[in-house]
Chain A
C-alpha cells in the first residue's frame, strides 16, 4: 500500500496512509475490483469512506462489489500550467455509479469529447480511481 505525501508548496506536511476502513477498498482496486461499503441492516451501498450508514446509522462493516459502471455527473479539467507536473489537460470528474453512489476520479479519454451523462466504466489499469469511456 502506497503512502501519500501531502505537500504545501515544496514542503511536506506529512505522510498519510489510507483511512483504516478503506484499506480493503484499495486492496480490491489493486485486484481490479471496485468495492462499495454495504449496510448489513438496510443493504444500502455507500462510498468507501463512509463509516456509518446515514440511512439507519448502523456501523458499516461489509462490502459489495460494484458493477463498475456509471455516468459522468460532472467534470472539469486540470491544465499543466496550474501545478500539474503532467503536460496537457487531464479530466477529473464525479461519476454516478449504477448503485447510486458518487465517486470522484480521473477520466481517461481517447478521441472522445467528454460530456455530462457519458457512460463510463471503472478502469482496472491503475491503483488510482480512474474511469474510461465505454
Chain B
C-alpha cells in the first residue's frame, strides 16, 4: 500500500485523574489530552483534517459532543463526528479515521475519547438507566449486571462457559492488574478461584469478584491517526493500523432473540454478539489470522462475558477453555497475552476505556514497563458497548 494512504497510529496522550481531583470534567480530560498531544508534536490546529470522538461521555452529556470538543480545541476539520455505537464507538472512531486515510480523502485525524462518570455520579446505580429500555426493561429495575447476567446464565446453562472457568478468568485479570501501576488491582493480593466462588452474589451468575470495579477516576485519551508518510515526516515511532471491523447487533437484550428469522433452524441465542464478526473482519482486512496474533485486549465487565467474547472471537475454543485457563494461559505466563493491563476486571472499568488500545500500543512499542510481553508483533484490541451489543476490533502491528 502507498505510504500516503497507509494508516498508522502515530502517538497518543492519556490524561488520567483520580477521585481526589474530582473537579475535572470529561471535556477537560479530553481537551487536555488532545492539546498535550498536539503540543508534543507541534501540530497546528489547521493541520488536523478530521476530529472523531466516541459517544458523548456519561459525565458530560452533550449533543454533537465532537462539536463541543472541536470548539474547545479551536479546530476546523474537514470532517468531524461522534461515533456512537455505545462504547464501541471509541475504537470505531479510529477505524473510521483509517478508512478515510486509506481512501485518500484525509491524511490525519485526531480521535478523542474521555469519560469521568465515576467522578460525578455513582455509575453502579446510574448505568442501568442508560443501558435499559425504559418501559419494558426499566419498569422492573434491573441492574447492569442483571442485564449482562441474562447472557451469562444462558451460557452457563448451555455449557458454553462454566462458573469455574469464569473464576479463572477473574484470577488471571487480577494477576495482570497487579503489575500495572495505574490499575485498580495494582498492589492488591493475588486472587484465587476459591475467593471468587465464595464472594457475595451481585447478580446471578456473577459474584463480586467476577465483576469489574469502576475505575475510580476519569481518563481522557487523544490518538493521532495519520498516514505512514506523515508519521515518517514527523519522525514518530508509529504502529501500523492493519485492519478493523465493527458490528452492531441489537439495542435491547430481547431484540437479538425476537429479530432472528423464525424459519431458521438455528436456535435462538445471544452469543453471536458481533464480537466475532468484528474480529473476523479486522483480521481479514489485515491479511492475518488469529494464529498471527500474539496479544489480545478485550473489554468485558464480567468474567463470564470476557470468556464468552474470547470464545466468540476465536481466541480460545469453548471445549478447551477450562484446561486452557487452568494451565495459566490467560495469566502473565501465558503464550498469547490477554488483557495485559488487567482489562476491565483488573484495571477498573471506564466506559469507552481506550486504555485497552494504549496498552496494545505500549506493548507493540516495547514500552509496557514491568509487564512487557516478549516478542509481541501483532495485537488485537476489541471494545464493546451496550449489553454486548456493539463491537469494534482493531489489528495493530509494529
Partner-B contacts on A (CB < 8 A): 4, 6-9, 11, 13, 16, 18-19, 22, 26, 44, 46-50, 54-55, 73-79, 81-84, 89-90, 92-94, 96, 100-106, 116, 128-130
Inter-chain contact A77/B201, CB cutoff 8 Å = yes
Task: Supply 26 A–B pairs (Cβ within 8 Å), ascending by A.
Answer: A4-B138, A8-B126, A9-B121, A16-B134, A16-B135, A47-B258, A49-B133, A74-B154, A75-B149, A76-B148, A76-B149, A77-B201, A78-B141, A79-B201, A79-B202, A82-B143, A83-B128, A90-B140, A92-B140, A102-B257, A103-B254, A104-B136, A104-B137, A104-B140, A104-B254, A105-B136
Q: Are A9's CB and B140's CB within 8 A?
A: no
Q: Complex: how many Å from CA A93 to CA B204?
A: 11
Interface residue? B62 (CB, 8 A): no
What string of 1s and 0s marks CB contacts (under 8 Å) between B140-158 and chain A?
1111011111111110010
Q: A76-B146, A116-B153, A116-B157 are in contact. Are A105 and B140 (CB under 8 A)?
A: yes
Nearest residue in A to B155 (C-beta to C-beta)? A74
Q: Is the CB of B136 within 8 A of A129?
A: yes
Q: Min CB distance, A20 to chain B, in Å?
A: 12
Give the chain A neighbours of B133 by CB distance below 8 A.
49, 104
Interfacial residues, chain B to chain A (CB-CB below 8 A): 58, 120-122, 124-126, 128-130, 133-143, 145-154, 157, 200-205, 252-255, 257-259, 261-262, 268, 270
Distance (whole angstroms) from the CB of B392 to the closest CB of chain A: 25
- Cβ contact within 8 Å between B145 and A102: no
Which residues of A have CB within 8 Å of B58? 8
Cβ of B157 to closest chain A Cβ, rounded Å: 5
Give the CA-CA distance A128 to B261 in the complex, in Å. Answer: 28
Shortest CB-to-CB span from B87 to chain A, Å, is 17
If A47-B254, A104-B253 touch, whether A6 touches B150 (CB-CB below 8 Å) is no
Complex interface: chain A residues within 8 A of B255 (CB):
47
Q: Which of A8, A77, A84, A104 contacts B121 (CB 8 A)?
A: A8
CB distance from B126 to the nearest CB of A (A): 5
B270 proximity list for chain A (CB < 8 A): 74
- A-B contact count, CB below 8 Å? 138
Contact residue among B126, B136, B262 (Cβ-Cβ distance under 8 Å from A103):
B136
Cα of A105 to Cα of B124 in the assembled complex, Å:
21
CB atoms of A77 and B129 under 8 A apart: no
Q: Is A129 touching B140 in the complex (CB atoms < 8 A)?
A: yes
Residue of B nearest to A19 (CB): B135
| Cβ B143 vs Cβ A78 within 8 A | yes
Given A47-B258, A82-B145, A129-B136; A74-B150 close (CB under 8 Å): yes
List A contacts of B203 (CB < 8 A): 76-79, 82
**Chain B residue at smallest Cβ distance from A86:** B141
Given known A-B contacts A116-B157, A129-B136, A102 and B126 have beta carbons under 8 A apart: no
CA distance A79 to B90 in the complex (A): 31
Contact with B262, one of A8, A48, A55, A75 (Cβ below 8 angstroms): A55
Q: Is the pair A104, B204 in contact by a Cβ cutoff of 8 Å?
A: no
By the criterion CB–CB under 8 Å, are B157 and A77 in contact?
Answer: no
Determine the residue in chain A with the shortest Cβ distance to B158. A116
In the complex, which residue of chain A has the Cβ closest to the Cβ of B59?
A: A8
Contact (A13, B129) CB under 8 Å given A82-B124, A104-B252: yes
Cα(A93)–Cα(B137), bound, Å: 10
Query: Chain B residues with Cβ under 8 A from A48's Cβ?
Result: 136
Query: Is B262's CB under 8 angstroms from A100's CB?
Result: yes
Q: Which chain B positions have C-beta within 8 A of A54?
A: 259
A92 to B254, CA, bound (A): 13
Instruction: Tell me whether A76 and B135 are in contact in the complex, defined as CB-CB below 8 angstroms, given that A7-B129, A46-B258, A55-B262 are known contacts.
Output: no
CA–CA, A6 and B200, complex, Å: 29
- Whether B254 and A44, one on each chain, are in contact in the complex, defined by CB atoms closer than 8 angstroms, is no
A95 to B381, CA, bound (A): 34
A55-B261, A102-B268, A104-B254 as given contacts; A9 in contact with B126, CB under 8 Å: yes
